[in-house]
Structure 1
Amino acid sequence: MRIVSLIDEREVIERILRHLGLWEEPVPFHPARAPPDGEGTVELFPGDPFPDYSREPVMDYDLCADA
Structure 2
Amino acid sequence: MDPGNLLWNQILPPHWVDASADGIASSLNISHGGIMRNGEYAPNEKALREHNPDPFPANENQKPLVEW
Please report the TM-score for the alignment, with normalisation by the length of structure 1: 0.20
- The structure richer in strand per residue is 2
Question: Which is bigger in relative contact order (C-alpha 8 A, separation at least 6)?
Answer: 2
